[in-house]
Structure 1
């Protein structure tokens, strides 16, 4: 990461609430052509979330604690705050002296942009201002929210606008929190309704919806130069698993998340 930072643009795309099992099933079935084309080997990496709900998980990720590989460690991290005795920091880790990687990248000349999705990014109160407040520029509109059937394409359109308005030489760190997977998501499945509610099937349909538009985001982020992209879930969610529904709880469906990172090469 010490070679990447300062050279490439950076993208952190969190697919909020995406379950690992659903992501793996859809990739294996060929139902995520745009995402799978960039996943190493066409498969998601199995990892453990740093938190069981959006606020906790993103606070951890912005501090350098991305989802942890689901195997015995220690596992070196891409980003890490300078901390005596850290067992997950190595020579290739981008080590920073600020409280979070967002401000560290800003100090290295990056323009930092947040495109919010779920309520913790809506800037409508003190709590909804904390995470967006880390960034130099932040965006949230009702069209980006969990209640919008067109949330992700609206967020991508804003990302395209952000990129188009930046000077060519300006490095960019773009964070986008995709809300489409989060409940309610029944409106992404044809034939589903408010009365039937959300399920693993509607969750899967929401992921397919994201996949249909994610290529535009990747194209925008690689339009100016190579981009290093991190795509992951912040936590999963339960749909009746062992009697549990939702998240902010300690269940395998919540703690296990899909993760990947890869380079987006600039267009010819």
Structure 2
């Protein structure tokens, strides 16, 4: 069950709990909210505080930029006037969003900081920026002690998320019980192409908000397994969010890496996953 807390004291969480960061790559805020309100996300909504997504602004308009910011402590920012205290922050002079309860680190990124504090860091990649097939696709996974990418995890796979969850289960099962874990999963299912997640859709018709929503429902059907394995050893602090949205013809725009509301506005939630009684 969810332990609602808008901003937990991360100086207590780090060193005590495991940490899960699940980015639902390319997920639009409006699609996420509509699906939750319609009861189509039972597993995610069961953990989101109040069953609702927070409306936030992405730190970047595409995967590579946004994840660099996220790993430096710049999670999506609440879509309201700030400043908004952050959960994590690299130490630098003049930061207006570092506050009591912020986990502050001297390392250049959160992954390295958690590794320095004894966490095993593991990445389950999804989109091409995590595929390790070239220098660019190796930068982000290279931050982690352990990283995985397979063709079955990619945007072209209709079973990408269940394959990623199976990988996460293997990571946890191989880890000593007393070793804390920071697991990062980049879910690729929402990214184009996603038409194959909607029954009756065709490659020729292409992707749409409807197929995007169907991909989110697909993730929801399997996310319970990920949550269960991450709470199987101890309490886990989970962050589930989008890194950016994407446009489906909105005001003439298609795709992302552009400055449109459909790209900059993203869903966010964090919560504790309690271990079995």
Fold conserved between structures, TM > 0.5: yes
1:15 corresponds to 2:2: no
Structure 2 gap segments, 5+ residues each: 1-9
Match of 2:5 in 1: none
Q: What SS does structure 2 have at the residue aligned with 1:169?
A: coil
Structure 1 gap segments, 5+ residues each: none
Match of 2:136 in 1: 127
Match of 1:254 in 2: 263
Deviations 1:216-236 (A, max 9, x none): 000000000000000000000
Question: How large is the RMSD of aligned CA atoms in angstroms?
Answer: 0.3
Equivalent position to 1:221, from 215, 220, 230:
230
> What aligned pairs does 1:1-268 form with structure 2 within 5 A after superposition?
1-268=10-277
Q: What SS does structure 2 have at the residue aligned with 1:98?
A: coil
The alpha carbon displacement at 1:133 in A equals 0.3
Structure 2 length normalisation: TM-score? 0.97
The alpha carbon displacement at 1:58 in A equals 0.1
> CA separation in 2, counterparts of 1:201 and 1:192?
10
Deviations 1:121-150 (A, max 9, x none): 000000000000000000000000000000
> CA separation in 2, counterparts of 1:185 and 1:79?
32
The alpha carbon displacement at 1:112 in A equals 0.2
Deviations 1:144-186 (A, max 9, x none): 0000000000000000010011100000000000000000000
Deviations 1:56-115 (A, max 9, x none): 000000000000000000000000000111000012100000100000000000000000
> CA separation in 1, counterparts of 2:132 and 2:114?
22
> CA separation in 1, counterparts of 2:95 and 2:24?
28
> CA separation in 2, counterparts of 1:186 and 1:160?
27
How many equivalent pairs are there? 268
> CA separation in 2, counterparts of 1:91 and 1:256?
27
Q: What SS does structure 2 have at the residue aligned with 1:22?
A: helix
Q: What SS does structure 2 have at the residue aligned with 1:3?
A: helix
